[in-house]
Amino acid sequence: MLTMQKTYKILISGQVQGVGFRPYVYTLAAEFSLNGTVSNNEEGVIILITGEEVNINSFYDKLLHYPPPVSKIKNSSITEIEFIDFKQFNIIPSAKEGNINLPLTPDFAICDDCKKDIINSANRRFNYPFTTCVNCGPRWSVTQHFPFERENTSIEEYKMCDECQHEYTNPSDRRFHSQTNTCNTCGIDIYLIDNKGNRIELKNKNIFEYTANLLHEGKIIAIKNTSGYLLCCNAENTKTVKELRLRKNRPNKPFAVLYPSMEFLQNELEISQKHINSLTSTERPITIIPLKNYKGNIALNVVAPKLNQLGVMLPYTGILQLLANQLNFPIVATSGNIHGSPIISNTHEALENLTSVADYFLQHNLHIEHPQDDSVVKFSNKFHKEVVFRRSRGYAPNYFDIEINSAEKIMALGAHLKSSITFYPNQFVYVSQYLGNLDNYDVYKRFVTTASSFIDIFEQQPQVILIDKHPTYESSKYGMELAEKTNAKLIEIQHHKAHFTAVLGEHNLFNEHVLGVIFDGTGLGDDGQIWGGEFFDYQHNTITRIHHVEYFDWLLGDKMSNEPRVSLLALSTEKMSAVLGQKFTESELKTYKTLLKENKLKTSSVGRLFDAVASLLNITDYNSYEGEAAILLENRMEDYDLKNCINYISNPEKKLSAKEIIANIYADLQLNVSTEQIITNFLFTLANSIFSVAKKYNYKHIAFSGGVFQNTTLVDMLLELAPKNYKLYFHKSLSPNDENISFGQLLYYTNIND
């Protein structure tokens, strides 16, 4: 007896291109004896399937519940259509009939299967560093256009050989329809040159073994990875690491370290399961690990000066894996740039800018479309709360779990430091990789290129452009120019309100009554003063500033953020003249005190309060990188006990005074209270003050944003001190620092009645 066959149309959207989704559908269709077609389009994946209804339902159920490992399904639909008598199942070419309306695909770390291929001497990809499959490899870094097909990437330049083509068309092969498929025969060339441009002829020698020997000898190597250059050297060689710092112009900012393997790492560092999960994830970020009971030989005093933590990562590309296989020591692996500039990805640019830094260059000829720094995460010690420090490779440019109700095409251009761009051209939100400090002209050029790339890829001009309220931010000035050029609506959004709406958006809190606590370094306030210690009320799509750190003097512009001693001066009392006399010359003090008398610009910045505390405790008077004082401050603490804490503010719900905090810290110093206990008291004071304000205004939901909440000890204290009936919300996928501003601007514009 013949059973009735039917045809259904299935639409799948989400992160479903460049992840092996079509090959998986092909295999699944065979499993359930179904015929039809699958293809990519501008919306995602479209499947036409014919067979017995019970089989189609089983196929659809398994597709949704057990998709390919690196895919993320956001929406799906299944609809019966007119019967089509398919004779077999085929993957057919993508048909683009409209504008793109799907997530873009981030880069994926090399999978275990590909790792096995490149170390297997019997495998034809033995020692081939660009080995990938449907489950791993570069995606966003090589994307030129969408849908994600080979011809829309920079890998299109490399025509597949017969064997690669056979894999590509073989349903039983892991590289079936792998768009990044190449091999030693048809693929990307890798070669080694010295810093004068001379090619090192290796003949039959292993290029990675040779490179490892150079690293062992103390050489600095610029390695062109698939997302940009890394500057590498032996992390155990003090002299070489010092030389790298000198050449890169990076005096104190910690370097990340690449370990050859998880086993090697675990022999030297104590790590938790969350650390392991992070280090081995498809995103493979740099993960900051405490140096408790460290057993290795890394030159910590120069790799991570004055810190009790280390940023570590494992190999995430074939290039790094093959190098790691030849190493018996960890290596510094830091962004390939001069400090402050964007990561370099272009071969000619690298030779122009890094010949004075690197002794050798490990090069390849694949063009990188979207250079990206490594992402960085950290877990708090007590509650293991994940905090994103930098969101870039592996995460960008997608953002999931948000619904925007707007028909307008919106581009948000973020802030000035730690810049990012958020674009809303369709039904999805795209948050760019971390771009950097726009004071640097090369970073600004990368920022403009990224904005243009979004517009080109989606073939959509923004109708609304969102900028920070600060008119001299380079992102704001560019937004003004772009709005005029495209005739778009230009909207200014206050910096800290954007922070607040970013965390509201991450947790979908727009139907709740929420206290927003935004602590950071700087941002132009609605009253023309410099905000940075703000308490906001959110309810009924309205944000109101209800409390803030009591204003103190803001002076000397960038000098204040670069020199913590200036913040201490602004917050000092007459009793502290001897302390100031050790930090300033008589001439400086005379000049600055005159400025203080005349000064009218005020600030509520908690970031500058951290600086002042760091200076008062003689931790540092000068920042060589952003946030250095705050990082060193937290790193002076081994642990804390809330039972021993005292509060440095008497009535924070009435008057949250930074000057009172500094005065009380100074008093404790006179009593010889330990530096560690003073820092603990300081963080306790901030945490306790937040709950005092929440209690006064009867809040039960508190959301946190701003760079200060990268302090994981403060995060732990808040979680520990919170009354049981309170709910605390921290950023999940985004960093609490200014990287989230562009996302917050979008959420502010689409949700807040202003």
Q: Spell out the residues 6+ positions from residue 245 whose beta carbon is closer than 8 angstroms to its own.
A: 251, 302
Residue 582 neighbours by CB under 8 Å, 6+ apart:
none
Taking CA 703 as the corner, what is the angle to CA 606 and CA 614, rounded to the nearest 5 degrees? 20
* Residue partners of 119: CB distance under 8 A and separation at least 6: 126, 325
**Rg of the chain over CA atoms, in angstroms?**
27
3-class state of residue 73 by DSSP: strand
Burial 141-162 (b: 16+ CB within 10 A, else e): bbbbbbbbbbebbbbeebebbe
In 3D space, the residue among 191, 134, 109 whose CA is nearest the CA of residue 20 turns out to be 134
Name 467's Cβ contacts closer than 8 Å, sequence gap at least 6: 413, 473, 475, 476, 479, 480, 490, 491, 492, 493, 745
CA distance 112 to 129: 14
| DSSP H or E run through 749 | helix 741-751
Closest CA to 478 of 497, 501, 455, 459: 455
Angle (CA) 59 15 410, round 5°: 135
Sequential DSSP letters for 342-365: PPP--HHHHHHHHTTT-SEEEEE-
Taking residue 437's Cβ as centre, other Cβ atoms within 10 Å add up to 17
Residues acting as catalytic residues: 22, 40
Q: Check: CB of residue 716 under 8 Å from CB of residue 673.
A: no
Residue 68's SS3 state is coil
The arrangement of strands across the sheet holding 542-548 comes to 542-548, 533-539, 514-519, 701-705, 727-729
- Gap between the Cα atoms of 510 and 540, Å rounded: 8
DSSP state of 575: G
- Which residue, among 78, 30, 33, 27, has the nearest Cα to 51 in the 3D structure? 33
409 vs 170: CA distance, rounded Å: 41
The 10 Å CB-count burial string (b at 16+, else e) for 25-58 is bbebbeebebbbbbbbbbbbbbbbbbbeeebbeb
Cα separation, 43 vs 24, in Å, equals 18
Tokens of 178: 């792998």
> Cβ–Cβ contacts within 10 Å for residue 277, how many?
12
CA 261 to chain CA mean position, Å = 23
Q: How far is it, in rounded angstroms, from Cα 550 to Cα 571?
A: 11
| Strand order from edge to edge, sheet including 257-258 | 190-194, 360-364, 221-225, 228-234, 331-335, 257-258, 309-313, 286-290, 376-379, 386-390
Element (H, E) at 287: strand 286-290
For residues 130 and 251, give the distance between their C-alpha atoms in angstroms, rounded to a whole number: 34
Name residue 468's beta-bridge partners.
493
Residues 6+ apart with CB under 8 A from 550: 604, 655, 656, 657, 658, 659
Q: What is the DSSP letter of 290?
A: E
